[in-house]
Every structure is written in structure tokens, then in C-alpha cells.
Amino acid sequence: MKKILLTIILFVLLCFAMPILLTNRKTTEVSKIENNMENMVQENIITNNNYKTVKVLHKETGEVEEINMEEYLYGVVSAEMPASYEIEALKAQAVVARTYTAYKIAHAGKHPEADICDDATCCQAWITKEERLSRWKEEEREANWNKIVEAVDSTSGKIITYNGEPINAFFHSNSGGATEIVSNVWGGTDYPYLQSVQTSGEEGYSQYQSTVTLTKDELLEKLKIEHPEIEIDFSKENSIQITEYTESGRVKTIQIGNIAISGVEARKIFGLRSANFNVIIGDEITFNVIGYGHGVGLSQTGADAMAKNGSNFEQIINHYYTGIKIENI
């Protein structure tokens, strides 16, 4: 009788236990598959794109040329950063330029027939080896070119990613002490990896402090092109007044007579090197400007200053871009 009872109990336990065990095993297997799929998707964001070559639109001729990525970067780095800069700064520029190019390849932009153009005002600058060499002193040509090649080749394949994707790696000449967030320059949504950061060591670059002086008539003439409704009484004390600054210290809003415009627009209208400026009103209008460029992302002079102080290219990149990884494509 006991044997019969034990047999019945074992049978009941097996009936209940087996489905539970099978379900747990199936759940574990499904979970593993899902995790593998997620990892594959993350990897494929980078690896599925062809980053070996770049289709470059030459703006002057309208021709599209397909160039090997690393050879293309020789032309970009030599056009965008002085060869006299520290090698680690040049390496950082190479990684940033490669990342910017990869981002353009992954996100079709303004040029559907090409990945990128050679116009610095639209994409990033590029120059042929022959033209670059012709602009250097003869005795510096070989050493300069070899330095550019070293910067690109020693970082070959490396790009900056955020959440598994190439970042929109903006860069500029000189931040004037602090970099800017995207929305203060172009509006829209900010990128989490492009935060405002302090840049030390730039103060010594006196060429990035500039002045633009305009007569009152010249100022009005320039404003009327974009704002024909402009009215201004220069006899009033606050006829021109900066009313708001960004977190980085750049001009966010400036009131000129009856209109208010952004610092970025003022930079464009008056031909200023950056939106980091003050205004002096006298017989003429004087803009004292600090920095050069939009101020977003890597500061090239800041990168050089960091390299001079012993930072390597990875430390430079991690300073200017927040929460990123440096990965191989």
C-alpha cells in the first residue's frame, strides 16, 4: 500500500514539476537569445555601415570622389589643424574627424549623392596632399606630412560612440574658455555628449582675441538686410544692450534698438569670430570678441594645450565629449 501511495505522489510531483522546469529553461533560453540579439543590433549600428571609403563632394567642381577613409583623413586633419600642434592633439583631431565622417555616412545629410563635402562651413575642410604641401615651407613639408600621417594611422579605425552609435563630433578653433551646448547655437535638442566644459590653457592664444569696429551707419546697413524693421536711437544710453548670456558666457540675446536677436545671429550679421563678445558704444560701435568658432565640442587650441600638459588623445576626447566610448569600427 505504501509503495502505491509513493508511486502516486511521485507521479503527481512529476506532472507539476516538469512544466515548471521546462518553462524556466525556455525562459532562460529566450532571455539569452534576446540579449544576443540586442548585442548584435548594437554592434551592427557600427559594423553594418561601410566606413572603408568616403564619397566626397568637391564643392568647387561639383564632382563626387570616392576616397579611402584614412587617406581622406590625411586631407582633413592637415586642413583643419596646424601641423605644428602636438601629436596627441592631432591624434584627437583624427579620431574626431573620423567620427564626424562616420556620423555623416550613417545619417544621410545635405548631399544625397555623397557622404560629405569639402566645405568647412557645411561639413569639414579637406585638401589634397599636393595643395597642402605647397602651402608649407619647403624645409617643413616632409616632417609636417609625416606627422599628419602618424596621427591618422596610429588611431586607424577609432571613432567616438555614445550608446553604440558614432556621435555628431563637432569641433572648433578656440572656445574662449568654455565650450557651448548645441541648442544655444543651432536650437533643437541638445546631445547628452556635448555639454559645456571648461577649457584651460587657451588664454595664451592672443590671435583668438579680435575686434570688429563699425560706424553707426554700417551697423544699421548690415542689420537692415535681415531686419528691415530696425529702428535705433543712438542717443539713448541703452540703445544696444546684451540682455542674456548662455551658461558658457556667450551672448544669448542682444537688444539693438527695437529688435532682439541671438548672439549667434549677431555673430553672423557683424562678421564676428564667435558669440563671446562685449559691445562698446561711442562714435563707433566696437565688438570685442574672444574665441573663434561656434564653440561646440572639441576646442582645437584647448586640445593642443592639454597635449602640451601631458594629456593623450583619449584623455583629450573624454574631456570634450561626455559619457562616450572610443571604439574600433
CB atoms within 10 A of CB 93: 29
What mean pLDDT, rounded, does the chain reach?
88
Whether 206 shows a pLDDT value over 70: the answer reads no
β-strand partners of 299: 172
- Take residue 15 and report the three cell numbers written for it: 506532472
Q: Does the pLDDT value for residue 34 go beyond 50?
A: no
Percent of the chain with pLDDT over 70: 83
What pLDDT score does 39 carry? 45
Least confident of 17-31, 123-137, 271-285: 17-31
The residue with greater pLDDT, 203 or 191, is: 191
Q: What is the pLDDT confidence band of residue 205, given thresholds at 50, 70 and 90? A: low
Give 201's pLDDT tier (boundaries 50, 70, 90). Answer: confident
Average pLDDT over residues 263-285: 97
In this prediction, residue 46 carries a pLDDT of 55
Average of pLDDT values for 11-17? 47
329 pLDDT higher than 90: no
Host H or E run for residue 165: strand 165-166
pLDDT higher than threshold 70 for residue 35: no
Mean pLDDT, rounded, for 265-271? 98
Euclidean distance between CA atoms 307 and 315, whole angstroms: 9
Contact yes or no for 51/329 (Cβ under 8 A) = yes
Report pLDDT for 37.
Answer: 41
What angle (nearest 5°) sits at the alpha carbon of residue 303, between those of residues 251 and 90?
130
Q: Is the pLDDT of residue 18 over 90?
A: no
For residue 117, the SS3 value is strand
Whole-angstrom distance, CA of residue 105 vs CA of residue 172: 21
**Is a pLDDT exceeding 80 seen at residue 191?**
yes
Closest to 282 (Cα-Cα) out of 199, 216, 221, 327: 216
Q: What is the mean pLDDT of residues 179-189?
A: 94
- C-alpha 175: how far from chain center: 13
**Percent of the chain topping pLDDT 90:** 78
Q: Is the pLDDT of residue 181 over 90?
A: yes
The better pLDDT of the pair 111, 218 is held by 218
Q: How far is CA 112 from the centre of its chain?
A: 21
Residue 323 has pLDDT above 90, yes or no: yes
Q: What confidence score (pLDDT) does residue 58 get?
A: 96
Is the confidence at residue 232, as pLDDT, over 80? yes
- The predicted structure's pLDDT at residue 132: 97
Q: How confident is the model at residue 112 (pLDDT cuts 50, 70, 90)?
A: confident
Q: What number is the average pLDDT over the span 134-142?
A: 97
pLDDT score for 109: 65
CA–CA gap between residue 70 and residue 7 (Å, rounded): 74
Helices within the chain (DSSP H only)? 2-47, 69-80, 87-106, 129-135, 141-153, 183-186, 216-226, 263-270, 300-308, 313-320
Max CA pair span of the chain:
116
- Interval 239-246 mean pLDDT: 97
User: Between residues 88 and 17, which one has the greater pLDDT?
Assistant: 88
